[in-house]
Amino acid sequence: KWDQTSDSWDNAALAEEWAALRKIRGLANKAIEAARQGKAIGSSLDAELDIYLPPDSRLGKLLKAHEDELRQVCITSRAEVHSSAGFSEAKDAFVQEDAISAFGADVGVRAVCRRSSLHKCPRCWNFHSDHADALCRRCSDVVAGVGVGVSAV
C-alpha cells in the first residue's frame, strides 16, 4: 500500500511536541481571530504574537527552543516567547488565555496579538521592514544573492 511507512519514522516524542505546538497555534489563532474581528488586522501576517507561560515548564522550554520557527507555525510576522511573570495588559492587544495540556501537565498560557508596528515587505509580505516599500533584511539578502542590486533600508 502507498500509505505504509517505515517504523523508523514513528517518533512518539516528536509527535507529542507537535501536538503541543498545535495547541499553542490553536490558542494563538483565537487571539488572531479576535484581532481580526476587532478590525486591528486583516490577515494573520499583519499580526505580532507574544506567548506568555512559565519558562521552566516543559512546554515553555519547547517554545523557547523553537522560538525562531514559532512565527511560521502561527503564520504571523513575529512571535516571541516570554515568562508569564512579564505579562501586562495593553489596550491595543487581543489576549486569549487557557490551560494547555501538554507533556502530562496543564500549563497556563496567554497569547497576545497586536498589529505589527513594522512595514510589509513587498516581496515576502511579512511585516519585517523598518521603512515602507523596502525589502526586509532576509529578502534583501536573497535578492542580492541572485545579482539584483536592491538593499534593505
pLDDT-derived band at 129 (thresholds 50, 70, 90) equals confident
Please say if the pLDDT value at position 136 is more than 90: no
Please say if the pLDDT value at position 117 is more than 60: yes
Say how far apart CA 127 and CA 78 lie, in whole Å: 8
Per-residue pLDDT, 3: 76
- DSSP run (H or E) holding 33: helix 12-37
Q: Are 84 and 108 in contact (CB under 8 A)?
A: yes
Residue 108 has pLDDT above 80, yes or no: yes
Q: How many CB atoms lie within 10 A of CB 48?
A: 21
Q: Provide the residue type at 120 as one letter.
A: K
Asked whether residue 32 carries a pLDDT value surpassing 80, the answer given is yes
Helix, strand, or coil (residue 53): strand
Q: Whole-angstrom Cα distance, residue 44 to residue 141? A: 24
Secondary structure class of 46 (helix, strand, coil) = helix
Query: Cα(first)–Cα(last) distance of the chain, in Å?
Result: 53
For 70, list phi and psi in degrees, rounded to 5.
-60, -35
pTM over the 0.85 mark: no
Number of H helices, E strands in the chain: 4, 6
What's the half-sphere exposure (Cβ side, CA atoms, 13 Å) at 23?
Answer: 22
